[in-house]
Structures are given as structure tokens and as C-alpha cells.
Structure 1
Amino acid sequence: MKSLQINKFKGQETVRENKTLETNAAFYSKVNHFEGKLSSSHYVVKFPMTGLETYYTINKKIQVDNLSYLITNPHVEIEAVVKSKTPVIGICIGFTDEFLNSLATSIGQKMKLCLDNPFVNNESNLDFFTQKNRINNSKFGHTLQNIKYHLLNGTISEIYNEEQFYLTFGELLIENELNIHSKISQLPHSKLSTREEIYRRVDLMNHYIHDNFTEHISLENLSQIACLSKYHSLRCYQGIMNTTPYKKIIELRLKKAKELLSKGHCINLVADLCGFTDYRAFSKVFKKYYGLLPSIYQKQMNIK
């Protein structure tokens, strides 16, 4: 069995080759500066492992970091910009149109979603949302993190068989997108285009929360970002994310707090860095979620 091959990105030379490439392929890039238009015959997952990559579509700017990824559709031209003092390391994983659509049809038939979900059917090609996607706690997210780990440590060819890699990763990619479309279908709007637009607006809210959870975030802030009423933004966020903005903010703050506590940081400082008003408020919320005070948790971590 052939081990996974990762090709080196060679700037515009690679871009030209990818316009007519007829096989699944993965490319590894390490650049300080790059500016140019990208277009590929493939569906491409773009995943920076260090640094920041910026992409421009027709109507928006998308910045992708090591906690997020971008999916582009075949023959769609976007502009890519990398400007950094230190090398930005990334990987692009490309699937041919025929391979991924065939795989999606097979998955759709197995899941009985071909007729109910416009993302997977026999009559049209897949159409991914071209937007910044957060790496979440899912099989797809864990796979991206594993790829990052093995690529940075030079062990990726030892771990992955090429044929199995594209099959497994492709299935996870499609199932992840099906999950998004499933959430969209549950929104209480009759038109698909309206549901998709609501999803995009909720996604903007979610990115803002992830980027600013240590700051004060009000529902008014989020509703302005989404261009929705407070009531509508709350209901739509809850419908898609299965939680409220407030609970998501607390979840992210506590996750960060546990990380800082385990490193031995002062509890008062942790409370401040994570956006809590004071030590008491932090301790109360921490105990409610985890069943013990921050001081006890920190002692247990030190013992271990």
C-alpha cells in the first residue's frame, strides 16, 4: 500500500498545475510572503498549522488561523495573502470533483438524505460554504489536529495510507457538512436561501464569541454583528449551536481558566484574564460547572 504523499507548494507553479490536476492531492506550504489568485479543479480544505492566512472572495475577507479551516469549491477563484515575519505553515488537501461527489452520493444514499438534503444528491455537485470554520470537538476536528501533529513532526507518511486517508478524510468532511445542513434545515424559515443566510449570520456571531470571550459581550453586540433583532439572534443561535451565547461564553472562559490554573497561575489573575468580574464570581461559576473550587482543582492538578 502506498503511503500518503505530501507535495511541496511552489507558488504559482503549483497553482497552474492544480487547475488541471486529475488526482486527489495534498500540498504542504511554508512561506513568509505570498500574494496571488488561487483556482483549483479540486475541492480544497485549507488548514494553516501556524500563523495566519488571509483569503478574499467576491464579497468578503476571510482570515484563517491554526484553530480554523476553509473549504473552497472547484474552479472558484479566490485571492490568497500571507505576510508574516515568521513562516506560516499550512496544508491544503484536495479532492477531485468525481471522487468527492461519488463519495457524497454513496454516503447520502446510506443515510437516506439524497432527496431531503440539497448538499448531497445525484443531480448536482457538492457546494460547500466558503467561510471560516472553527475546528470543533468532532471526528473531523480531531483528524485535522492529528494531521497537524504528524505533519509538523515528520511522521505523516508513516501514519497514513494514501487511499485510506482520502477515503476516511473525505467521509468526515462530507458528514461534517451534512451536520451543518441538518442544522440549517431545522431553522423555521420556508426558503432554503433564507436558512442559509441565517446560518452565515449565526456563524459570524459564533466567531466573534470565540475571538472575544474574555471581553464583555452583550446580546446587543451580537445582534448588531448578525444584523438581526436581539430575540431573533438569540433564537437562531440557540437553534443552530444547541446552546445560548451566554453559555458558550462561559464554556470558553472556563476552558481557558482550567488551562491557566493547570499551569499554576494565580486564581485572581486567572479570573481577570478569563473575563470574570472578580474572584468570587469566578469561583461560584467554576464550582457550579465542575463541582469544586478553583483552588481545589489547582491543588489536584499540582498533585498529579
Structure 2
Amino acid sequence: MVYNQFPDPDLNSGYFYNDLWSRNILLKAKSKSITYIDKKGPLSVKTTLKGTETYVLDNIPIRVYPESILIINENHSYTSIIDSKDEVDSASLYFRKDLEKEVFAGLTQKDDLLLSNPYYSHNNVEFFEFKQQKSKRLVYLLNQLLGMLPKSENLLLKNEINIYIIEELLCLNYQLYVQANKLNHQKTSTRLEIFKRINQTKEYIQSSYAKDLNLTILASIACMSEYHFLRSFKSVVGKTPHQYLIQLRINSASELLKKKTYALSEICDLVGFKDIKYLQKLIRTKMISD
């Protein structure tokens, strides 16, 4: 099922919401300004084809753009915001209830179990909820699905592609799981929780890099002591929070310079630097290293 218009943000009923749990739904719509507050639904994957859309999960803003995806687990409350001078082309894929559990069972269980119990599914499949880059296979599958929008007769193929997309999302999630388990902690649950909290804090830094951030603020977002957060951040990200923040600011400043729209003094303020000479030095260093 495809919807080309955003449903009314103030309603929780209607055709879109009636279909939400029982069918696979692709919501592809455009807007300059629209906000949904505290919404819940089935497992979904978010992206854009043009522009940036912001999602807020557990008070952490996450900016999604064409090269990225955000997976939101079933019944996890979120807010979504489009606020742009230019039209944003948003795309959200909602999967029918329990489809991801059935696919996961098919990937992990033996055929004799699935034959004797064709409706067998795992009780819980939980995805990491932070921004990820699209894999090549996911780009291919999403483009294939989007390219079929006018052709309603391809229902069977659409169903197949939805299953392949979930299969790829599970593979991407497993890669993150392997990465998390490389952390130096005895308990798997501890490794996964630290990995989750650090990546959530990364999202906050990405959306707030122009602000005055300090270790106290970031550690409180991760619900960790400052020392524990600093050590864990470097272990997960490979950089200290300060190094990561400065890198984001330099990259943003470099992109703004390419547009030739702002003076260097304006860029300095926009990306969060206080000293224009310091910014010039960092940009020169980046140009040499590149």
C-alpha cells in the first residue's frame, strides 16, 4: 500500500492508520513544514529522497537525510519534524505486524521447525535505533520499491521486496551487534547498552554541534559518569567527544565554504567556533590532509 500524502498529524484514525498494522505501507510525501508528536506504530524504516527530516527518540534529535536510514522499533514513541525552506521528500516504510520476527525465524531456525509450525516467530526482535548509512543492497531494494510506485499490479513483487528489505536490516543490525560485542566488558547486555547509549549521544552531538557542549551535558545524556562516558565514547567511536565534535564542525564549515554564501566570520558562528583564526588553522590543516 502506498500513500502519497501525509496523514493528518492531529488524527489517529483514517485509511492510513487503519492499514498501519495489517499491511506493508510506503508513505512517500513532500512538505516544507509538518510535525507529528508522540506517534507509535509497527516497525518502520525512515529516510528521505531530498532534504532532511528530524526524528526525536527518547529526547534525542536524529537528523535523517537521503544517504541514511533510521529504524524505529514497534511501539516506540517518536516525534518527527520537517521544517525547511525547501520541500523535503520524505519516505517511511512500515512493515506489517510481526513480519520482522517471521523473517528472523526463517534466517535462524531449522527447516523442520518452520515446516511443523509455519507461523513460528521470535517473541522479540529489537533493532538499534540510531542513524545508519544505507548499504548498497538497501539502496538497490528501496530504489526498486520506489520505482514501482505507479504499478499497483506488482503486489507480489512488492511483498517480496519488503521481506528482502527486512532481511537486509537484520543483517545490518547483526553487524552492529558484532561491533558492540568487541567492547571490553564481560556481560553481553553491558556491551550492548554502552554501545546504544554512546551512539545515542553521538546523534545528539551531530544535531547540536554548533552549541556549547561540555562533558557534563554529554555524560548526563548517556546517563553515565563523566569518566565512564569519556572512556566508553573513545572505545566505541575511536575518538574523544572533543575530537568528534571538532571534526563535525570542520566538516560543516568546509561544506559552507564551498557554497560561497557566507563570510568566514558567519561560518565561524554557524558551526560553533568562537575564534576565526582557530577555524582558519583547522581548515588549512584539513585541506593539507585531504
Distance 1:284 1:39, change over 3 A: closer
CA displacement at 1:256 relative to structure 2: 0.8
Partner Cα distance (1:36, 1:190) in 2: 36
Partner Cα distance (1:85, 1:259) in 2: 18
Whether the aligned pair in 1 keeps the contact of 2:2 and 2:28 (CA below 8 Å) is yes
Partner Cα distance (1:267, 1:251) in 2: 17
The secondary structure found in structure 1 opposite 2:185 is: coil
Partner Cα distance (1:224, 1:279) in 2: 30
Residue matched to 1:18: 20
Residue matched to 2:236: 240
Partner Cα distance (2:38, 2:204) in 1: 28
Residue matched to 2:213: 217
Distance 1:50 1:230, change over 3 A: closer
CA displacement at 1:26 relative to structure 2: 1.6
Distance 1:224 1:28, change over 3 A: same
Partner Cα distance (2:257, 2:39) in 1: 44
Distance 1:239 1:36, change over 3 A: closer
Distance 1:164 1:283, change over 3 A: farther
Alignment coverage as a number of residue pairs? 258
Residue matched to 2:126: 127
Distance 1:61 1:272, change over 3 A: closer
Residue matched to 2:70: 69
TM-score for the superposition, normalised by structure 1: 0.64
CA displacement at 1:79 relative to structure 2: 7.0
Matches within 5 A, 1:155-304: 157=149, 162=158, 165-264=161-260, 265-291=262-288
Whether the aligned pair in 2 keeps the contact of 1:25 and 1:94 (CA below 8 Å) is yes
The secondary structure found in structure 2 opposite 1:128 is: coil
The secondary structure found in structure 2 opposite 1:12 is: coil
Deviations 1:142-177 (A, max 9, x none): 839x76xx97xxx66379973564255323322322
Does residue 93 of the first structure (1) align with residue 93 of the second (2)?
yes
CA displacement at 1:127 relative to structure 2: 1.7
TM-score for the superposition, normalised by structure 2: 0.67
- Where does structure 1 lack aligned partners over 5 or more consecutive residues? 110-121, 298-304
Does residue 27 of the first structure (1) align with residue 27 of the second (2)?
yes
* Amino acid across the alignment from 2:172: N
Partner Cα distance (1:288, 1:96) in 2: 50
Partner Cα distance (1:258, 1:81) in 2: 28
Whether the aligned pair in 1 keeps the contact of 2:268 and 2:274 (CA below 8 Å) is yes
The secondary structure found in structure 2 opposite 1:26 is: strand
Moved more, 209-218 or 100-109: 100-109
CA displacement at 1:98 relative to structure 2: 5.8
Q: Aligned Cα RMSD in Å?
A: 4.2
Residue matched to 1:143: 139
Partner Cα distance (1:219, 1:62) in 2: 16
